[in-house]
Amino acid sequence: MPYLPNTEDNQREMLAKIGVESLEELFNDVPARYRFPELKLPAAVSEMEVLNELYALALKNSSTGCFATFLGAGAYNHFVPSAIPYLASRGEFLTAYTPYQPEVSQGTLQAIFEYQSMIAEITGMEVVNASHYDGATSMAEAAIMAINVSNGKRKKILVSPSVHPQYRQVLRSYIPGEQVIITGDEDLNTGLGDLKAMLDKDTACLIVQNPNFFGDLLEVDELADSVHAAGALLVVVAVPVMSLGLLKPPGEYGADIVVAEGQPFGGGLNFGGPYLGIFAAREQFVRKMPGRLVGETTDQEGRRGYVLTLSTREQHIRREKATSNICTNQGLLALMAAMYLGYMGKSGLRAVAEQCYHKAHYAAEQIGKLDGFRVINSGPFFNEFTVQCPKPVPEINEALLKKGILGGYDLEQDYPLAKNQMLLCVTEMNTRKQIDWLVETLKSI
Amino acid sequence: MWLNSEPLIFEMSSPGRKAYTLPNLDVPPSAFPEGYIREDLKLPEVSELEFVRHYTHLSQKNYSIDTVFYPLGSCTMKYNPKVHEKAASIEGLSQVHPLQPPHTVQGSLELMYNLQEALKEISGFAGVSLQPAAGAHGEFAGVLIMRAYHASRGDTKRTRVLVPDSAHGTNPATSAMSGFIVVQIPSDSRGNVDLEALKRECDDTVVGLMLTNPNTLGLFEEHVLEVCEAVHACGGLMYGDGANLNALLGIARPGDLGFDVMHFNLHKTFTTPHGGGGPGSGPVGVSAQLAPFLPGPIVGRDGNQYVLEVPEKSIGRLKAFHGNYGMFIRAYTYIRMQGPDGLRAVSDNAVLNANYLKALVTPHFPVAVERTCMHEFVVHGDIAGTDVRALDVSKRLIDYGHHPPTNYFPLIVHDALMIEPTETESKETLDAFADALVKIAEEARTDSELLHSAPHTTPVSRLDEVKAARSPVLCYKG
């Protein structure tokens, strides 16, 4: 049996010390008729065999390595510098638990403190927690926090229809029932002006995505003023998060809570997980925040050190009165994001974001010139944009796949009016050659 | 351990220094829109070598399974096999976009399908969704499923969730988050749910009971069948907290015992690494009557094709995309390499190791409840006749090169030390740990100050947590 050190001699000695005759005797408390069921699972295989099975499964996939990838919509194909997985897979990081014993967890604690600091900088916010499961669950927890900030008095969540459709689904699953009203996204044409008009004294928060799901950059001037005038909070979903390397941070235009999907910062695509839920807020709300926080302090000799702090908000202390039930989060992904931001640094993050911007605009310009195709975004965008196509998107994507191209997201799946509209994403990973190949292939369709 | 102080990466920064390289921009640049562009980005600037040393030094300030014994109760800190990391980084499995057309991801879907099936077989449940990202997320799914089930029957007066006083904090927090009232059920003198107290609370307002079995005292619930019967008799559902499933592989299936819904912790039982706080993975399993309510999508089969399907009355989506897939690859690899006999041996040896360690430790530290334990046990960590508390013992264990057990939990045991050795530790390691505890008990009587001021061998000594909370410094201010 793999990984089990006890020999038969060991087992005999140990059973003798315990004072029982057999292993079976240890399980006498289990009802006899259900004890020791036969598990109908395939017999064990060796390491070599299991790897061969997995390689065979991998061959049934077409990975993004096989394609020129232009698919985004919440999961992004970015370069991961080699040093990051190398360091993040060190056993001391990988095989440690949540840092409950700070004296032997300073590595994890300081790394999370650095993560909190870097995310605060790029979002323009003051406090950042140690992570949620992904961007969607961060957003749902932000809505719950907004209700809690009003001490439960405000029971309306306004959400823009141009927030990622899956994020809005998660929001509704997280807050079931009649007590809280989630509204604003029923009519898919509802714009920012309409949402502002829906703000009232019952509104806990307005949730917008910037850049929005179609790629547009929002006109955020005075948005926060309107929200605050109604006594509500402004929640900004900063997806794709790489845009923060170039664009004004949400803190600068008045956001109260910023959430994002941190996967682009050093996490791979991994078929959708594990990803990283970024959660940042204004300092005044810190005691209503969900999740773990790391704070700086000193030890008995006055040396600087880090601890988990303000944990009276959390489930292991506060039980049913906690701000959230979250316990295990995405610690390793937060570490990797901190590493990515530290490695790319001041100029590198900006450089990646600029490349995404320029390449996407080059692609949009070329596609816009094709007969039958039209770029719908009328204002500025970052690295995703919506294209009106002459044929149904699945049909186009099948044709692209045959030419080695992973095409864009079919918006009609979520927005029935977006007939034949495709959301395309371009990152620093897409070479000019790939973009030209995409344009040429679209032309031939 | 790396004992020197390590600066923050911001403090190592030198203007103009960089670690990264990027290809030259190969398209003509476009103008940036006015009014949208940020002015500054105060991120560090370091070389690659400085970067590598910084994170290497930080890593060396951690205790981890790879470096020391880590008997953290209810956390199942067993060895994390290295093949799992290789498996999860196979390019064809990992570099896959979650929104690719299903026919281009048949390998990933097949793996997920096989994992769903294996978890069903191990637990005795009829349906599994892999979507929840951690234990508490799986609990949330489970409670929402119970809620939806009652609602679908028009049974709307059920608002109370029963939770034993020994439960993990996530149980009451999850119930409250789902809009329910939490009712605490006391434990009896043998560490079981107090059956009479439970029956008194069972009525037509009960959503269900959330039960951890084995419980947080490490004890198998002796009246589990009666407990299930009492809850079912009043129309409630049985929720199983799967945190302690490592004791039950091939020993008993929660579905057979009468549980209706349970979450798995792949990062505990199926040994995906904890990563200093996550990612975990918390699939949820349910009985046939609850299967239509599972969070979706889940993986189904349509002829020879694997497809993503949303169950008929699904509680909806609890996460973007499909769950913590990277953890699925690791857990699947583990199940394949263990096989049915290996899984049974895992639980046999986990329970053997716990009972052996308990036999060594309890003459010096009284056990909370004297019974044969399952995969873990709880002792009182204070030393009679001294002012030494469980925390002091824990901190002193660090000096002996062991990670402390879980402290002060479960809440019903004063000065609790909750010890879970796991099956991957050798007898020699258990002996050394027990020896350390015996020595510490002696030290408590001869030189208690040594314990109060412990640990002495770490990069920092005990930290001022009051100061951290009173005037929080939560990020670098420059």
CATH class of domain segment(s) A83-341 = alpha beta
B83 pLDDT tier (thresholds 50, 70, 90)? very high
Segment A269-305, tens digit of pLDDT: 999 999 999 999 999 999 999 999 999 999 999 999 9
Q: Residue B229's pLDDT is what?
A: 98
Residue A125 to residue A171: CA distance in whole angstroms: 23
Q: Which residues of B touch A167 (CB under 8 A)?
A: 320
Share of chain A above pLDDT 90, in %: 94
B:224-243 residues touching chain A, CB 8 A cutoff = 224-225
Contact B133 A271 (CB under 8 A): no
| Residue A122 clears pLDDT 90, i.e. is over it | yes
Out of A3, A62, A298, name the one closest to residue B464 (CB).
A298
Alpha carbon separation from B111 to A42, A152, B98, B329 (Å, rounded): 14, 43, 14, 7
Nearest CA in chain B to A307: B465
Are A246 and B38 an interchain contact pair (Cβ–Cβ within 8 Å)?
A: yes
Is B463 close to A102, i.e. CB distance below 8 A? yes
User: Chain A within 8 Å of B94 (Cβ-Cβ)?
Assistant: yes
Contact of A382 with A368, CB cutoff 8 Å: no
The verdict on a CB contact (< 8 Å) between B280 and A58 is no
CB-closest option in A62, A272, A409 to B322: A272
Three-point CA angle B225, B231, B235, nearest 5°: 135
The token pair that represents A293 in the structure block = 């926080």
In this complex, the residue of B118, B336, B427 whose CB is nearest that of residue A10 is: B427
Contact B27 A432 (CB under 8 A): yes
**Statement: residue B96 has pLDDT above 90:** yes
Q: Are the beta carbons of B325 and A87 separated by less than 8 Å? A: no
CATH architecture of the region B84-337: 3-Layer(aba) Sandwich (3.40)
- In the prediction, which pLDDT does A313 show? 86
| The pLDDT of residue A53 is above 90 | yes
- B401–A contact, CB cutoff 8 A: no
As annotated, the residues of chain A forming the CATH 3.90.1150.10 domain(s) are: 64-80+345-444
pLDDT in tens, A320-351: 888 888 899 999 999 999 999 999 999 999 99
Q: Which of B22, B106, B344 lies closest to A428 in CB terms?
A: B22
Identify the band that residue B438 occupies on the pLDDT scale cut at 50, 70 and 90: very high
For the residues B297-311, what does the mean pLDDT come to?
Answer: 97
Query: Could you tell me which residues are beta bridge partners of residue B210?
Result: B239
Tokens, residue A149: 């900030």
- In chain B, where the domains are located: 1-61, 84-337, 341-452
Is the minimum CB–CB distance between B273 and chain A shorter than 8 Å?
A: yes
B49 lies within 8 A of chain A by CB: no
Q: What is the pLDDT of residue A4?
A: 97
Interface check for B320 against chain A (CB to CB < 8 A): the answer is yes
Residue of A44, A261, A327 lying closest to B341 (CB–CB): A44
* Cβ distance of A103 and B459 shorter than 8 Å: yes
Distances (CA, A) of A142 to A112, A146, A159, A206, B381: 20, 6, 12, 10, 39
Domains B84-337 and B341-452 share a fold: no
Query: What share of residues in chain A are helix, strand, coil (percent, to 5)?
Result: 45, 15, 40
Whole-number Å distance between alpha carbons of B126 and A231: 48
DSSP at A73: T
Q: Which of B86, B107, B372 sits opposite A61 (nearest CB)?
A: B107
Question: What gap in Å lies between CA B149 and CA B156, rounded to an integer?
Answer: 10
Average pLDDT rounded to a whole number, residues A143-149: 97
Look over chain B and give the mean of its residue pLDDT values, rounded to a whole number.
Answer: 97
Q: What is the pLDDT of residue A276?
A: 98
Provide the percentage of residues in chain A whose pLDDT is more than 70.
100
Residue B153, chain A, CB below 8 Å: the answer is no
Read off the tokens for B180.
Answer: 């329910």
Tell me if B465 and A297 make a contact (CB, 8 A cut-off). Answer: yes
Q: Which of A46, A61, A66 to mutate to test the interface with B (most CBs of B within 10 A)?
A: A61
Inter-chain CB proximity A107 and B219 less than 8 Å: no
Q: B-chain residues within 8 Å CB-CB of A368?
A: none
Question: Helix A393-402 and helix A432-444: axis angle, to 10°?
Answer: 120
Written as six digits, the tokens of A415 are 């927005």
Query: Taking CB atoms and an 8 Å limit, are B472 and A286 in contact across chains?
Result: yes
In chain B, % of residues over pLDDT 90:
98
Beta strands in B283-383 (DSSP E): 284-286, 298-302, 305-309, 377-380
- Cβ of A64 and B106 within 8 Å? no
Which CATH code, of 3.90.1150.10, 3.40.50.970, 3.40.50.150, 1.10.10.10, is assigned to A64-80+345-444?
A: 3.90.1150.10
Q: Which helix (H) or strand (E) holds B126?
A: none
Split at pLDDT 50, 70, 90, the class of A312 is confident
Q: Which two tokens stand for residue A274?
A: 């594990």
- CA B2, CA A170: separation in Å to the nearest integer? 43
Per-residue pLDDT at A318 = 83
pLDDT in tens, A164-173: 999 999 999 9
* pLDDT for res A321: 85
Q: Are A134 and A275 in contact (CB under 8 A)?
A: yes
The strand pair at B284-286 and B261-264 is best described as: antiparallel
**CB spacing of A93 vs B64 below 8 angstroms:** yes
CB distance A105–B108 less than 8 Å? no
Residues of A within 8 A of B472 (CB-CB) are 286, 293, 295, 309-310
pLDDT at position A161, please?
98
All CATH 3.40.640.10 domain ranges of chain A, comma separated, are 83-341
Residues of A in contact with B464 (CB under 8 A): 297-300
| Tokens linked to A390 | 């002459």
pLDDT at B478 > cutoff 90: no
Testing the interface with A: which of B227, B308, B319, B356 to mutate, by most A Cβ within 10 A?
Answer: B319
Give percent of chain B above pLDDT 70.
Answer: 100
Q: What confidence tier does A1 reach under pLDDT thresholds 50, 70, 90? A: confident
How much is the pLDDT for A298? 98
A61 chain-B contacts, CB cut-off 8 A:
92-93, 96, 104-108
CATH level 3 topology of B341-452: Aspartate Aminotransferase, domain 1 (3.90.1150)
Inspect the interface and report whether the beta carbons of B87 and A54 lie closer than 8 Å. yes
Which residues numbered 183-212 in B keep a CB inside 8 Å of some CB on A? none
- For A172, residues 6+ apart whose C-beta sits below 8 A from its C-beta are A182, B316
Task: Report the residue count for chain A.
Answer: 445
Instruction: List CB contacts (< 8 A) between A321 and chain B.
Output: 176
- Nearest-Å Rg of the Cα atoms of chain B is 25
Give A93's contacts in chain B (Cβ within 8 Å): 59, 62, 64, 275-276
- Judged against a pLDDT cut of 90, whether residue A314 lies above it is answered with no
- Cβ of A97 and B72 within 8 Å? yes
Residues of B in contact with A39 (CB under 8 A): 121-122, 249-250, 340, 343-344
- 3-state SS, residue A187: coil
Of A304, A315, A352, nearest to B169 by CB-CB distance is A315
Read out DSSP for A293-329? -EEEEEBTTS-EEEEE--GGGSHHHHGGGSS----S-
Q: What is the mean pLDDT of residues B327-340?
A: 98
Which residues in chain B have Cβ-Cβ distances shorter than 8 Å to A173?
Answer: 144, 295, 315-318
Q: pLDDT value at position A317?
A: 82
- Collect all residues with Cβ–Cβ distance below 8 Å to A351 and sequence separation of at least 6: A344, B20, B22
- Chain B environment of A290 (Cβ under 8 Å): none
- Closest CB from A37, A92, A379 relative to B60: A92
Q: Which amino acid is at B20?
A: Y
pLDDT at A336: 98
Residue of B nearest to A245 (CA): B41
Amino acid found at B135:
G
Q: Locate all alpha helices (DSSP H) within B212-324, ordered by sequence.
A: 224-233, 254-257
Q: Considering only alpha carbons, which residue of chain B is nearest residue A51?
A: B87
Residue B300, phi then psi, degrees to nearest 5: -120, 180
Q: Can you give the pLDDT at residue A228?
A: 98
Distances A177 to A129, A233, B180, B315, B355 between C-alpha atoms, Å: 28, 22, 11, 11, 46
Q: What is the pLDDT of residues A369-382, one digit of tens each?
A: 999 999 999 999 99
Place of tokens 């069921």: A37
What DSSP string describes B146-178? HHHHHHHTT-TT--EEEEETTS-THHHHHHHHT
Q: Give the pLDDT score at A426.
A: 98
